[in-house]
């Protein structure tokens, strides 16, 4: 069963400030979709609308082709950006409680809670009050809280912010596991390197509108001019004068340059060989940061 | 899962958490002790017949009256016994009654013959009781709605402050969250009052003032529905106040209007309870009717239809306040930056609900 989560023409304003403009994108089943944008670009609002915490002014969110209902959303797992749990309850009790709020019966909630707490390494501390746990352990409890009902879709707002490195690894492992089990996973982050490492698909939002969306490779191909790195024996300064070349970086014998789209790069290599030994010549994939900078400008 | 099921889950959690709260448990225990002490102790303290010193020949009628008689040799010995504090009073020749600083009513009564009394209105209430009962009703409603209302507000603010609210709102309808808290508060408040009432009734049996009980029964019977609906009305206000606040520290300031809505009727009923016109008005106003109407029934001032009309008014008012409270609650629950103004909360309902 592969179902797609889809946003179609979603608008949202707060007072007279429009926060989302015609936001449309898809989160495919079994894929990790990274959702990136500057602070205030509309990531949290979009996610809140997906979860039904906020209502859109226009547009709709659909799941497997039909408009999302509260029943569907009960099967979603959500980790809000600003998060917390009840300080005066034990972890086991409140994770099970959240499981029940998502529709599990008491026995299933208990089973799932026990399994998850063991999974995130909280089995021993499960019966302590949440407020007595270390910050790292509280974050693990938060992860368990988002997953207790074995959600069909995961929506995580900045899941890695404030996590210690061990907890990051736990979250990454869990997300991959859910994605490979066929769930669409949407997560936002402002740590572009983390997104680059994890995501299959990418949605870039800027100033309330979707700037780019697609698979990571597709975005790389379409949003950047061809870029190459050349390392020669001596000074590479001559590349500046080669027709069509825009030098991005020059450091003695090493140069990084762009060519206009569709230009053959081999003449540059031949020119370099004509001048002496060539130590390296390779295409450079643009980093997510560069794509991001380009599409949000 | 529907709203009812969600409401039940929310209410269950609220109650479970509360039953583990030491402050709440000790508070309840404290009230129970007061109820027990208040009903058992007074008869015991005033209890025991007066001791009276008297010479042998005058002892008969006093013994018949159930007094604790000490036979002494002569009048002089009797007077000395009073002065020494061995007895409360003495009867010397005359007959004259001696006592230190308080006229011994029991002794005087034993020695005098009273004319027969026929009560024309046997339900008429003892003035002391007539003073105490309004106070108790008003006090019970005041204390419980204040205590449990504040707890509802704090529980709402806690969920906002810890940010768990966003997970909750994503999982269940906002209405269920609100309803669960109000239901839990009402159940806890009612259970606490019932427990206190049971202890008080037992205390009256032990302290042997059972007669008062039969007088109070109809007023208490009406007090129950008035209390429950009045509580729901106030609880909706408390929940809205809790949602407007952003931190526990703000709850007190935000809930000032609610506190006034609890406190003013309390004082009005206490101070105006012998003013028939004022009480008639108070017994129809939604905020004071939960205490004023049962009182008028207790004193026998209200006609049979009056509590029904007043209860209908209270139900309507409670319905309106629950709807308004829910709107404010929904409008402010996700605004976690500082205190939300009532106006913003009212106008901009954000959630789907």
Cβ contact (<8 Å) for A89 and B169? no
Check: CB of residue B352 under 8 Å from CB of residue A52: yes
Q: How many domains does chain B have?
A: 2
Say how far apart CA B38 and CA B207 lie, in whole Å.
10
Interface residues from chain A to B (CB-CB < 8 Å): 14-15, 48, 51-55, 70, 73-74, 76, 78, 80, 82-89, 97-98, 100-103, 145-146
CA distance A283 to A261: 13
In chain B, residues with a C-beta closer than 8 Å to the C-beta of A145 are 167
> Nearest-CA residue of chain A relative to B7?
A101
Query: Min CA distance, A39 vs chain B (Å)?
Result: 16
> Cβ–Cβ of B170/A76 closer than 8 Å?
yes
A258: pLDDT strictly greater than 70: yes
pLDDT on residue B45: 64
Average pLDDT over residues B198-208: 77
Residues B169, B245 within the same domain = yes
Q: How many CB atoms lie within 10 A of CB B349?
A: 17
Closest CA to B1 of B173, B166, B182: B173
| B10 contact residues in A (CB cutoff 8 A) | 101
B201 and B102: one domain? no
Residues B135 and B233 in one domain: yes
Query: Which among B138, B133, B143, B271 has a CA at the least distance from the CA of B200?
Result: B133
ipTM over 0.85: no
Q: How confident is the model at residue A140 (pLDDT cuts 50, 70, 90)?
A: confident
Task: Give yes or no for residue B254 having a pLDDT over 80.
Answer: yes
Rounded to the nearest integer, the mean pLDDT of chain B is 81
Are the Cβ atoms of A55 and B164 closer than 8 angstroms?
Answer: no
- Looking at residue A220, what is its pLDDT? 79
Same domain, residue pair A40 and A155: yes
Q: Mean per-residue pLDDT for A65-71? A: 87
- The answer to whether the predicted template modeling score (pTM) of the entire model surpasses 0.90 is no
* A196, A221, A246 - which closes a domain: A221
Q: Kindly indicate the confidence band of residue A69, based on its pLDDT and cuts at 50, 70 and 90.
A: confident
| Higher pLDDT, residue B44 or A215 | A215
- Please give the average per-residue pLDDT across A83-95, as a whole number: 91
Q: Which of A76, A86, A102 has its CB closest to that of B162? A: A86
Tokens of residue B108, six digits = 């005087």
Give the mean pLDDT of A133-159.
89
CB contact under 8 A, B170 and A98: no
Q: How far apart are CA B237 and CA B261, in angstroms?
A: 10
Q: Is residue B305 part of a domain?
A: yes
Q: Is the pLDDT of residue B257 over 70?
A: yes
Same domain, A211 and A84: yes
Residues A151 and A9 in one domain: yes
Distance of CA B96 to the CA centre of its chain: 46
Domain that holds residue B100: 51-111
Q: Are residues B141 and B32 in the same domain?
A: yes
* Residues B104 and B189 both lie in one domain: no
Q: Are residues B163 and B215 in the same domain?
A: yes
Which range among A170-179, B8-17, B62-71 shows the weakest confidence by mean pLDDT?
B62-71
Picking from A168, A200, A221, the residue at the C-terminal end of a domain is A221
Q: In which band, very low, low, confident or very high, does the pLDDT at B352 lie, cut at 50, 70 and 90?
A: very low
**Mean predicted lDDT score pLDDT of chain A:** 88
Last residue of a domain, one of B111, B134, B158: B111
Residue A64 confidence class, pLDDT cut points 50, 70, 90 = confident
Asked if residue B220 belongs to a domain, the reply is yes
Same domain, yes or no: B80 and B134: no
Sign of torsion, CA B179 A60 B336 A79? positive
Answer whether residue A97 shows pLDDT above 90. yes
My answer on whether A215 and A177 are in the same domain is yes
Do A204 and A238 fall within a single domain?
Answer: no
pLDDT one-digit tens code per residue, A221-245: 777 677 889 999 888 888 888 888 8
Is position B42 within any domain?
no
Q: What is the pLDDT of residue B351?
A: 45
Q: Are A89 and A128 in contact (CB under 8 A)?
A: no
On the question of pLDDT at B70 being above 90, the answer is: no
Chain A residue whose CA is closest to B351: A54
Which of A221, A241, A276 delimits the end of a domain?
Answer: A221
Residue B353 has a pLDDT of 38
Q: Rounded to 5 degrees, what angle do the CA atoms B178, B181, B183 make?
A: 105
Structural domain count of chain A:
2
The CATH code of the domain that includes A139 is 3.40.50.300
Q: Are strands A185-188 and A153-156 parallel, antiparallel or unpaired?
A: parallel
Contact residues on chain B for A146, CB-CB shorter than 8 A: 167
Co-location of A212 and A230 in the same domain: no
Residue of A nearest to B158 (CA): A86
Q: Where are the beta strands (DSSP E) in B81-138?
A: 89-92, 96-99
Q: What is the pLDDT of residues B265-302, one digit of tens each?
A: 888 888 887 788 888 888 898 888 888 888 888 777 77
**What is the domain extent for residue A60?**
5-221
Out of B9, B158, B334, the one facing A100 most closely (by C-beta) is: B9
Q: Which residue of B has its CA nearest to A71?
A: B1
Q: How far apart are CA A37 and CA A102, in angstroms?
A: 30
Nearest CA in chain A to B176: A101
pLDDT score at B129 = 66
| Mean pLDDT confidence for A136-149 | 88
Same domain, B228 and B328: yes
Q: What pLDDT score does B90 carry?
A: 80
Q: Give the mean pLDDT of A59-83.
A: 89
pLDDT band at A58 (very low <50, low <70, confident <90, very high): very high
Do A129 and A141 belong to one domain? yes
Summarised one tens digit per residue, pLDDT across range B85-110 is 777 778 777 778 777 777 777 777 77
Tell me which of A81-85, A151-155, A253-257, B112-116 is least confident.
B112-116
Please give the average per-residue pLDDT across B250-278, as a whole number. Answer: 86
Give the contacts of B20 (CB within 8 A, at least 6 positions apart).
Answer: none
Question: What is the separation, in whole angstroms, between the first and last Cα of chain A?
Answer: 39
* Residues A271 and A139 both lie in one domain: no
Same-domain check for residues B136 and B103: no
> Are B88 and B154 part of one and the same domain?
no
The domain that holds A230 is classified in CATH as: 3.30.70
- What radius of gyration do chain B's Cα atoms show? 28
pLDDT in tens, B148-186: 999 999 999 999 888 898 899 889 988 899 999 999 999
From the CB of residue B76, how many other CB atoms can be counted at a distance below 10 Å? 10
Domain identity same for A136 and A258: no
Whether residue A129 sits in one domain with residue A256: no
Compute the half-sphere exposure of residue B31: CA atoms within 13 Å on the CB side of its CA. 20
Residue B348 confidence (pLDDT): 62
Residue of B nearest to A145 (CA): B167
Q: Verify that B140 and B204 share a domain, yes or no.
A: yes
A74 contacts on B by Cβ (under 8 Å): 1, 171
- Is the pLDDT at A250 greater than 80? The verdict is yes
B64 touches chain A (CB under 8 A): no
Residue of higher predicted confidence among A154 and B82 = A154
CB contact under 8 A, B1 and A146: no
Phi/psi at B309 (nearest 5 deg)?
-60, -45
Q: Is pLDDT at A135 greater than 70 in this prediction?
A: yes
């Amino acid at each position: 069963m592969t179902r797609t989560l889809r946003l179609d023409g979603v608008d949202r304003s707060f007072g007279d400030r429009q926060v989302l403009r015609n936001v449309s994108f898809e989160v495919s089943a079994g894929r990790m979709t990274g959702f990136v944008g500057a602070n205030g670009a509309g990531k949290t609002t979009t996610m809140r609308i997906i979860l039904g915490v906020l209502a859109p002014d226009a547009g709709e969110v659909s799941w497997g082709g039909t408009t999302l209902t509260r029943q569907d959303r009960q099967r979603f797992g959500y980790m809000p950006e600003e998060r917390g749990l009840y300080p005066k309850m034990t972890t086991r009790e409140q994770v099970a409680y959240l499981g029940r709020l998502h529709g599990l019966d008491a026995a299933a909630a208990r089973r799932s809670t026990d399994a998850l707490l063991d999974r995130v390494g909280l089995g021993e501390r499960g019966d302590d009050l949440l407020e007595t746990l270390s910050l790292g352990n509280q974050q693990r409890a938060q992860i368990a809280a988002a997953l207790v009902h074995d959600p069909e879709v995961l929506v995580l707002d900045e899941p890695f912010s404030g996590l210690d490195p061990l907890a990051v690894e736990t979250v990454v492992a869990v997300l991959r596991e859910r994605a490979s089990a066929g769930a669409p996973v949407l997560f936002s982050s402002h740590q572009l390197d983390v997104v680059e490492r994890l995501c299959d698909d990418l949605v870039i939002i800027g100033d309330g509108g979707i700037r780019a969306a697609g698979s990571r490779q597709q975005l790389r191909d379409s949003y950047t001019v061809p870029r190459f790195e050349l390392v020669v024996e001596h000074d590479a300064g001559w590349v500046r004068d080669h027709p069509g070349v825009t030098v991005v970086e020059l450091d003695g014998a090493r140069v990084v340059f762009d060519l206009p789209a569709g230009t053959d790069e081999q003449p540059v290599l031949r020119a370099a060989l004509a001048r002496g030994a060539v130590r390296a010549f390779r295409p450079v994939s643009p980093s997510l940061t560069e794509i991001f900078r380009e599409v949000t400008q | 899962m529907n709203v009812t099921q969600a409401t039940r889950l929310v209410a269950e959690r609220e109650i479970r958490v509360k039953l583990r709260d030491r402050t709440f448990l000790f508070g309840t225990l404290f009230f129970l002790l007061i109820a027990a002490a208040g009903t058992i102790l007074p008869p015991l303290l005033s209890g025991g017949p007066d001791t009276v010193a008297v010479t042998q020949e005058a002892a008969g009628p006093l013994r018949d009256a159930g007094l604790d008689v000490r036979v002494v040799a002569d009048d002089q010995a009797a007077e000395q016994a009073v002065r020494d504090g061995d007895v409360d009073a003495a009867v010397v020749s005359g007959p004259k009654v001696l006592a230190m600083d308080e006229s011994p009513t029991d002794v005087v009564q034993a020695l005098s013959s009273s004319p027969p009394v026929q009560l024309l209105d046997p339900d008429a209430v003892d003035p002391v009781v007539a003073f105490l009962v309004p106070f108790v009703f008003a006090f019970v409603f005041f204390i419980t709605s204040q205590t449990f209302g504040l707890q509802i507000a704090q529980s709402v603010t806690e969920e906002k402050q810890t940010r768990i609210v966003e997970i909750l709102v994503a999982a269940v309808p906002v209405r269920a969250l609100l309803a669960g808290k109000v239901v839990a508060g009402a159940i806890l408040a009612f259970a606490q009052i019932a427990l206190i009432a049971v202890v008080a009734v037992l205390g009256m049996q032990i302290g042997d003032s059972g007669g008062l009980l039969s007088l109070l029964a109809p007023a208490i019977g009406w007090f129950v529905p008035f209390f429950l609906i009045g509580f729901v009305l106030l609880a909706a206000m408390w929940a809205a106040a809790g949602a407007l606040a952003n931190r526990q520290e703000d709850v007190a300031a935000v809930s000032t209007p609610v506190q006034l809505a609890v406190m003013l009727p309390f004082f009005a009923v206490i101070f105006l309870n012998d003013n028939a016109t004022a009480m008639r008005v108070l017994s129809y106003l939604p905020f004071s009717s939960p205490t004023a109407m049962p009182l008028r029934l207790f004193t026998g001032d209200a006609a049979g239809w009056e509590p029904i009309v007043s209860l209908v008014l209270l139900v309507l008012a409670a319905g309106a306040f629950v709807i308004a409270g829910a709107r404010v609650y929904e409008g402010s629950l996700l605004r976690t930056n500082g205190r939300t103004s009532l106006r913003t909360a009212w106008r901009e309902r954000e959630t789907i609900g």
